[in-house]
Each structure stands twice: as structure tokens, then as C-alpha cells.
Amino acid sequence: MYYKGYYHLFYQYNPKGAVWGNIVWAHSVSKDMINWIQLEPAIVPSKPFDKYGCWSGSATILPGNKPVILYTGIIAKRPKPGYQVQNYAIPANYSDPFLKEWVKPDDNPIVKPTYENVSSFRDPTTAWFNNGHWKMIVGSKHNHRGIAYLYRSRDFVKWTKAKHTLHDKSDTGMWECPDFYPVSTCGTNGMETSTLEGGIKHVLKVSLDATRFEYYTIGTYNTVKDKYVPDNTSVDCWAGLRYDYGNFYASKTFFDPSQNRRILWGWANESSTALEDITKGWAGIQLIPRMIWLHPSGKQLMQWPIHELESLRGDRLYQNDVTLSKGEMLEVNGITVAQADVEVTFTFSSLDEAEIFDPEWSKLPPENLAMEICGIKGTKQGGLGPFGVLTLASKKLEEYTPVFFRVFRTWDNKHKILMCSDATPSSLNQDVYKPSFGGFVDVDLAKKKLSLRILIDHSVVESFGEGGMTVITSRVYPTLAVGRNVHLHLFNNGTETITVEKMNVWSMSSPHVMN
């Protein structure tokens, strides 16, 4: 949230180790979401209503610029993962811009679960105001039905469960970390969470416990019936839209009033082993904050790293009009690339070399279709592609993480653009998870042009395809491609010649983090 000139980040944290457990709400503040001051945890288990952990939740700014936190507390260890209730906390001193102290009133818990959902009832959202009531949703499930339970309150303390859910869907399992917010149908400006009129659509996002991926729909919120209905172009969960087609979970958005934008922030867990996490002393990272808005088509969201990230840019290398023939690779020399910001635009003169989209692929699970094809095809020779960037590469290419496009032609002579971030060759360490992530890019190829922006940071590669239409994050653990031994290459392994119309690569400084 944004309060008195500072961004406040609250996050799940175990102060006693690098594995799950002993969960508190850690707290950091920043002027720019890049450089941070770490504070003491804001909320720690101290009451009967959060005895066994302070789990995820949200912040809401009440009238008078008064923030309040809603969070899930565990009051008993059974049934696993615990008996879950919803609590609130308020600042001890509203005049403190750092909000170092938080008070948990004794009238907690404010929301208790229905009997059948006591261990699947968590992660309250930022609240919105409508028809004289504050509204919020809590993630849950019943049997295999994913549920966003709706609650109403006049005073933010006494909450009543609505007779119906805001939204639910069969055969989707537990909905964790739900998020519900408006987006403008024109322009990139964000909207305050209680905005209900004007040119808007609503977004409902859920983190699906069954897949450990996130899914969102775009739709209409009926403010009279308090029901959300996805558009017919949006599919609930499984085969639906995702913010990020890689290692990305438990995200939250918030409205930033200082710059009139909505910010999306996701978490990437580890792909390394628990023993390696313990050895390095930490596990799990927050990714770079992203501005988020509705695409002009109204069918999907767009994402882009916040502009403040550019303050870390250092040495720059620029090239343009570089031709890459079949099998050609070009190393980017002259700057450090273990921490780098890469922007590159590729062009091609023809779509004739696009590979045939194998009809057999239609038999693959639709929710993992792009990922499966990336795994099957990889960077093997193709027609129009694969072309892209080899990140975090060792000198002799024993290790590298390629981010690339492949273009296919379907039976009806249309084109499908596949974007991949392939961790399979990323590390010689055989104990880490090395998936080949992928997503399709829904863009017209009339201009015969595709762009990539890639943020490289030692063990994480965040890739934004075609201006933020498709985003993929990979966690990787090179053993050779480390520090000054990291290399960066442009490549084309397709029969169609590719031109690098322009490329900018910046080495990136580290942000300041103060304890």
C-alpha cells in the first residue's frame, strides 16, 4: 500500500529459518519500490486468534487515510493446515509514516469459517465500498469447487457472510490469494479499488493450489446483486489467462494514488532443494513490481516493470540492424550481464517458413499446451524461429537459459506465436527443478515484428513479450554462469533470417536495502 509518501510491503516471512513455518508479517518501506528500508515485523503470533501463524491478507485505506490490515490467523493446528479465521490490525500511531507498530484489537477474529471450510478459508482481499457496505472476499473451497466467499460490513468490524458467493467454479480446488479490482477500459491509468462506475471492467484473480499457478478472468461486477460474471472471452482457471506463465504465485495488486496506477507484485518460490535453501539462508523472492492495465481489446491484461527500475541502469550497449541467419549466434560484449535489462526488437521479411502446428498437440492438456510444446521443441531447429536471447550463459554454453519465440501456422492458415523461457539447460545441478515454461502471444503479425524485454538477476529471469502481452518468469541456478562468468547471446535457429532491428542492454546496479 501507499501511505504518507512511502510504499509499504508486507510479506510472509519465517524469522527463524529459510523453510516454511513460524509465519509472521514482515514489513519494509520504500520511496520508489526499488530501494528499501527493512523494519521489524508488523504482525507476529501473539493472540489466541493467530497463535499458530499470521497468514496472507491485504491492506485497505479507510476514509480519513486510515489503513487497516485484514489477515488470516491460525487458531489450532488441526485439521491441517490449521483452523483458519480472519483478523484485523490497525496502526498504533497514524502519524508515523513508517507505521512501525500495529495493534490487534480484542474483538478479533472478525470472520469465522463455515464448518466444512475450517482449514480452507484464507487470504482476505482489499475491501471495496458499495451501497453503504464494505465488501471483501475470502478464498476457499467446498469439495472440489473453488470459492470466493463474499462478506459485508458497515463498520469494518462486524462482518456478515452474503447468501451467495461473489464467484465460484467447480473442479478447480482451493482458491488462494484472491484479488478483485477494477480496470479502466481506456488508457493505462489505474483505478481505486472502490471505483464502480464509468468505463471499467473487473478482474478476479485466484492462485490455484492444485497447480501452483495463478489465473485471472476479466468480467462484469453486478453491484446490485454483488455477483461477478466473467466475459465469454475469459475462462475460469486451468486453461484460462495467467499474469505470468512461469514461476509466479501469491500475487497482489494495489492502487498507487501517487502516480494513479495499479501495481502488481508477485512472489517466486525456489526451484532449489530445501537443503540448498537452508545453506544459503533464505528462500523465496519478490519479483520486480509491475504496472498493470487492460489491453485495448478488453480480452487480457498488460504488464510492464515500473519505470523506477530504470534508476538502476548503468553501462549501456546499443546495436541495430543486425542480421541473424540460420544457426547464427551473436555474443553481446562490453558490459556485465549477470544483472541486466535487455530490450530487443526482432523483425523478419516473411511468414512462409512458419512451422506447421502439429494437430496431435490438440490432444495435450489445454492448460499446459504452451509449456508442453516448449518442452517438446525447445531450441531445436525450426522455420520462423526459434529466435531470441540466451541469458545466464557459461563461456562454452554448458549452461544457458534461452528466452525465445517460435511461430507456427495452423490448419486454417493462421499463426500461433509461442514464447518460451527454457530452464532445462540452465544448470549443471541435477537436483533443481528445470522446467520449460511457455505461453502464447496473442498479437497480429502483420508488422512481422516481435519484441522482448528481459530482466536478468543471477537466479531469476523475468521476460516480457510484445510489450507485456505475455510474461514468463524462470528461477534458475547456474553453477558456471555466475558473476563475471556470465555471457549473453542473440540467436536464431530457424531457416528464416531474422533481423535485430534494435537492441539495448544495460548492466544493472543493486538496489539499496537498509536494515
284 in the same domain as 399: no
168 membership: H or E segment, kind and range: strand 167-169
d(CA 428, CA 412): 42
Domain boundary among 278, 305, 332: 305
CATH classification at residue 474? 2.60.120.560
Domain boundary among 305, 323, 342: 305
154 in the same domain as 301: yes
Query: By C-alpha distance, which of 467, 461, 465 is closest to 418?
Result: 465
So what's the pLDDT on residue 116? Answer: 78
Tell me if 209 sits within 8 A of 173, measured CB to CB.
yes
Tell me if 503 sits within 8 A of 319, measured CB to CB.
yes
d(CA 98, CA 109): 25
331 in the same domain as 275: no
Global pTM exceeds 0.95: yes
So what's the pLDDT on residue 6? Answer: 98
Extract the C-alpha cell encoding 227.
455477483
276 in the same domain as 358: no
318 in the same domain as 298: no
So what's the pLDDT on residue 114? Answer: 82
325 in the same domain as 400: yes
Burial of 223 (0-12, 13-18, 19+ CB in 10 A): middle
Extract the C-alpha cell encoding 152.
459485508
Q: How many domains does the chain contain in total?
A: 2
Domain boundary among 282, 305, 328: 305
Query: By C-alpha distance, which of 255, 107, 105 is closest to 190?
Result: 255
Tell me if 493 sits within 8 A of 381, measured CB to CB.
yes
HSE at residue 260, side-chain half, CA atoms within 13 A, is 4
- The count of residues in the chain is 515
Instruction: Number of helices (H) and strands (E) in the chain: give both, helices first.
Output: 2, 37
Q: pLDDT tens, position by position, for the chain (515 residues)?
A: 999 999 999 999 999 999 988 999 999 999 999 999 999 999 999 999 999 999 999 999 999 999 999 999 999 998 888 999 999 999 999 999 999 999 999 999 999 998 778 999 999 999 999 999 999 999 999 999 999 999 999 999 999 999 999 999 999 999 999 999 999 999 999 999 999 999 999 999 999 999 999 999 999 999 999 999 999 999 998 889 999 999 999 999 999 999 999 999 999 998 888 898 999 899 999 999 999 999 999 999 999 999 999 999 999 999 999 999 999 999 999 999 999 999 999 999 999 999 999 999 989 998 899 999 999 999 999 999 999 999 999 999 999 999 999 999 998 889 999 999 999 999 999 999 999 999 999 999 999 999 999 999 999 999 999 999 999 999 999 999 999 999 999 999 999 999 999 999 999 999 999 98
404 in the same domain as 374: yes
CATH classification at residue 216? 2.115.10.20
d(CA 67, CA 82): 28
375 in the same domain as 253: no
54 in the same domain as 122: yes
60 in the same domain as 33: yes
d(CA 181, CA 130): 13
398 in the same domain as 285: no
Place of cell 558490459: 335
Give the domain range for residue 379: 314-514
350 in the same domain as 238: no
